[in-house]
Structure 1
Amino acid sequence: MQALRSGDARERARSIQVAQDALDAAKAVALSELQISRDHELDGASTLNAWVRNELRLNAGQAAVLARNVTALDELPRVAEVAAAGRISAAHVRVFVDGLAHVGVGKMREFEDVFVEVALAHDPGELFETVKHLKDVVQPEELDDAWEKGMDKEDFQVDAVPDGWHVNGFLNTTTGAKLKQVLDSVSAPRDAEDTRTGSQRRVQGLDDLLTSILGSGLPSDKGVKPHLSVFVDAETLQAAAHHVQQTTEQPAHVSDLMPQVEPATLAGHGAIGPNLLMYFACVSDFTAFLVKANGDAQAQILNAGRECYQPNQLQRRSVIARQNGVCASPRCHHTHLEIHHVVWWSLGGTTDLDLLIGLCSRCHHLLHRGRLHIAGNAADGFTFTTRTGRPLKRRRRTDYHRAA
């Protein structure tokens, strides 16, 4: 103990931390042996968690963390080795526990050496992001599951309270990204002498934006979409298109899984799944870039292709007129429409007027989430079915020509 009270304070702090990490690992190893032998029952504890609470005098949360860390040290020998040497912390070990639970033992063992090197050089947060990236690569469908769950619980309320307005809610991935893009733009510091806090700038920026909108009239659809940036390589786009085609058009006959490729990235949000990527591909313009990766944060752009455009204004107006300005989906009466390629543009579909259909944002999302399917063309009529194949009311050709 005397050695811990003398000498360079920096070295003492480092030595204490190494000793603490090593003790945490040693405690986890001892608990692992206790769990195997079940000797905790000798003290009247039916579970290891209960023994930890009773004998080590830890609360339930701390006991649960220790018990989970036992799993990581049992399954990952390299992690156990560096943890026992005090080279990584208990917080690092907890990240490995999460990886085992959400990525799987096989993949965590496959990349164990890589993850250990990250843990040795970086804090637990950086290790978590590395493990999460692997999860996004091997389980892209979970990204779409998260998007779908967000769509199902979205809500937004602005309620008057005595001292102002209370804003509350939850936004799906796309809407939230649009809002953040706008707020980031309008709340940027004006100059080096702008001393307002971030919250003050955001509120003032929103106030300026609303004042501008009200001063020039309420917003209307001018054919200009909010600008969001999605970055995806050609291999991912092709794999995502194939994966979505298999899972949405033939949900009962899916035999192949999406290959392991880098997920697409929505700027300001993070990785997105193949279904959401295909939705963006459907409603957005995009430009192809030839890129040389340098291993740095920025890549070298070698060439930029021409921008790929969606249906022109005349085609858009023709589709809207053909449908009397109403969503084509049966029993839907929304009038703010997005233009969809029945044969998906990302799967080789052409921008042919008879193969374009107008859907409201909600129905369009349902389609890209595999809950709604559309076949046919405007000349012969479109057929709508649910994800289980149950047909919905078919729209006849005459329905699209009443406006004429």
Structure 2
Amino acid sequence: MDPEPTIDAMRTAAQALRSGDARERARAIQVAQDALDAAKALALSELQISRDHELDGASTLNAWVRNELRLNAGQATALVRNVSALDELSLVADAATAGRISAAHVRVFVYGIRHVSLTTMREFEDVFVTVALEHDPGELFEAVKHLKDVTHPEDLDDAWEKGMDKEDFAVNAVPDGWHVHGFLGTTTGAKLKKVIDSVSAPHDAEDTRTGSQRRVQGLDHLLTSILGNGLPSDKGIKPHMSVFVDADTLQAAAEHVQHADQHPGYLPKPMPPVEPATLAGHGAIGPNLLMYFACVSDFTAFLMKTDGGTRQAQVLNAGRERYQPNQLQRRSVIARQTGVCATPSCHHTHLEIHHVIWWSLGGTTDLDLLVGLCSRCHHLLHRGRLHIAGNAADGFTFTTRSGRPLRRRRRTSFVRAA
């Protein structure tokens, strides 16, 4: 480590402390503090290699930091983690030891090494250091997170699935009102966010209510309207949600899910590093969730033209004219299944209409190629845990991810023969 940049930052801070300009003092002190944080992390790197922390009775570097530097566990862990970025990324180390970027910036590079890859972070190191020099750690994190979404789109679907698995929502009475708590997955949360945003918008420039007041009052007006006019017999009118996706991404996602659908039990075809689809108001989404949105009739997919890497606001395609099954087709599918989900051993009755040959893969809205699935089974299908083949005329076949067929159980008859 070259100590001169850090020494220069400390010398500048010492000189600024003698001046009467508080702004210059604050800037110089911050630069010196950032430089010292980096120098401290590099010193810890040397200590980790030599294992001299054991001379003070500390079995780990983290324990030594807590004992000798009197930092709490969280601070110690963050400081030790920064060691990896400064050891592996020379441009980051140079900027940090000069006090040009903060320890918080360095933690973002640690995130990139762990969740993107060291090789990729080295490839874009100069770009990210430039971002760090000009922006706060939050802006840098968004840039690194975007690279992660591009290079590891499967992680987006993993996050979606994990969210689905831990969904919960409860409204419990407490002495002073009601306690609302839980966790919503990507799609349900986006719908709620859309509704709350629409009912809590300020009335005008003179609306002085706080954001929390507007949200609660908007929700109250919405619930009052629903109760006053009766609950919808079916789904009612859903909020409109938009998914923006490049043509290359849509094609790659279709091939990705088609491969998984045709080869159950095998690893899916890897997604190429393309620009991820974006759910308005939420952010980047993975290929499986994109295909789910393409399948659900209440969502419209927009294809956007790109020119030299710059997104243009020119709509190429807003969906096919007959993508939505008409009312007669919906009723026919439900009547054919006697109002019950088509998946064997599933008895749910609230059904969504699914294209057996996915619309995104060239399927048509023909009655024999439509099937009614409950919301749970529909999500399982788009998460790759359920597969459907065949048609209504010859019969549908259902298989699990491993290729095991699902069969509907026969009902035992208790009618006594005459």
TM-score band w.r.t. shorter chain: over 0.9
AA matched with 1:118? V
User: Could you say which residue in structure 2 is the equivalent of 1:301?
Assistant: 313
User: Could you say which residue in structure 1 is the equivalent of 2:115?
Assistant: 102
Cα offset for 1:59? Answer: 2.0
- Residue pair 1:100, 1:108 contacting (<8 A) in 2 also: yes
Task: State the Cα deviation string for residues 296-352 of structure 1 (Å, max 9, x = none).
Answer: 8xx543455454232222221211111112111111122221111111111111212
The normalised TM-score by structure 1 is 0.92
Q: Sort the Cα spacing of 1:233 and 1:225 in 2 relative to 1 into closer, same or farther, 3 A.
A: same
User: Could you say which residue in structure 1 is the equivalent of 2:217?
Assistant: 204
Q: 1:169 aligns with which of 160, 171, 182?
A: 182
Does residue 278 of the first structure (1) align with residue 291 of the second (2)? yes
Cα offset for 1:247? Answer: 2.8
AA matched with 2:313? I
Cα offset for 1:3? Answer: 4.1
Structure 1: distance between partners of 2:408 and 2:186: 31
Task: State the Cα deviation string for residues 199-252 of structure 1 (Å, max 9, x = none).
Answer: 111111111111111122112226744311111111111111111222343144
The normalised TM-score by structure 2 is 0.89
Does residue 158 of the first structure (1) align with residue 171 of the second (2)? yes
> Alpha carbon RMSD of aligned pairs, Å?
2.0
User: Could you say which residue in structure 2 is the equivalent of 1:132?
Assistant: 145
Of stretches 276-285 and 257-266 in structure 1, the one that deviates more from structure 2 is 276-285
User: SS at the partner of 2:288?
Assistant: helix
Cα offset for 1:290? Answer: 5.1
Q: Sort the Cα spacing of 1:255 and 1:385 in 2 relative to 1 into closer, same or farther, 3 A.
A: closer
Does residue 322 of the first structure (1) align with residue 336 of the second (2)? yes
Q: Sort the Cα spacing of 1:287 and 1:105 in 2 relative to 1 into closer, same or farther, 3 A.
A: closer
Task: State the Cα deviation string for residues 143-185 of structure 1 (Å, max 9, x = none).
Answer: 1111111111111111222222221111111111101100100
Cα offset for 1:60? Answer: 2.0
Structure 1 unmatched ranges of 5 or more: 397-404
User: Could you say which residue in structure 1 is the equivalent of 2:416?
Assistant: none
Aligned 1:177-188 pairs, distance under 5 A:
177-188=190-201
Structure 2: distance between partners of 1:362 and 1:168: 22
Aligned 1:117-128 pairs, distance under 5 A:
117-128=130-141
Does residue 390 of the first structure (1) align with residue 404 of the second (2)? yes
Cα offset for 1:197? Answer: 1.2
User: Could you say which residue in structure 1 is the equivalent of 2:70?
Assistant: 57
User: Could you say which residue in structure 2 is the equivalent of 1:13?
Assistant: 26
User: Could you say which residue in structure 1 is the equivalent of 2:372?
Assistant: 358
Q: 2:362 aligns with which of 323, 334, 348?
A: 348
Q: Sort the Cα spacing of 1:239 and 1:48 in 2 relative to 1 into closer, same or farther, 3 A.
A: same
Structure 1: distance between partners of 2:85 and 2:327: 57
Cα offset for 1:7? Answer: 3.0
Q: Sort the Cα spacing of 1:96 and 1:395 in 2 relative to 1 into closer, same or farther, 3 A.
A: same
Structure 2 unmatched ranges of 5 or more: 1-13, 411-418
User: Could you say which residue in structure 1 is the equivalent of 2:326?
Assistant: 312
Q: Sort the Cα spacing of 1:129 and 1:77 in 2 relative to 1 into closer, same or farther, 3 A.
A: same
Q: Sort the Cα spacing of 1:39 and 1:370 in 2 relative to 1 into closer, same or farther, 3 A.
A: same
Q: Sort the Cα spacing of 1:394 and 1:374 in 2 relative to 1 into closer, same or farther, 3 A.
A: farther
User: Could you say which residue in structure 1 is the equivalent of 2:391?
Assistant: 377
Cα offset for 1:67? Answer: 1.0
- Residue pair 1:236, 1:262 contacting (<8 A) in 2 also: yes
AA matched with 2:361? L
* Count of residue pairs brought into register by the alignment: 394
Q: 1:334 aligns with which of 348, 369, 380?
A: 348
Does residue 244 of the first structure (1) align with residue 275 of the second (2)? no
- Residue pair 2:368, 2:392 contacting (<8 A) in 1 also: yes
Task: State the Cα deviation string for residues 92-120 of structure 1 (Å, max 9, x = none).
Answer: 00111111111111111111111111111
Cα offset for 1:15? Answer: 0.9
Structure 1: distance between partners of 2:307 and 2:67: 55
Of stretches 119-128 and 205-214 in structure 1, the one that deviates more from structure 2 is 205-214
- Residue pair 1:329, 1:359 contacting (<8 A) in 2 also: yes
User: Could you say which residue in structure 2 is the equivalent of 1:228?
Assistant: 241
- Residue pair 2:85, 2:113 contacting (<8 A) in 1 also: yes
Q: Sort the Cα spacing of 1:248 and 1:145 in 2 relative to 1 into closer, same or farther, 3 A.
A: farther
Task: State the Cα deviation string for residues 14-57 of structure 1 (Å, max 9, x = none).
Answer: 11111111111111111111111222222222221122222222
Structure 2: distance between partners of 1:108 and 1:300: 29
- Residue pair 1:289, 1:301 contacting (<8 A) in 2 also: no
Structure 1: distance between partners of 2:238 and 2:133: 45
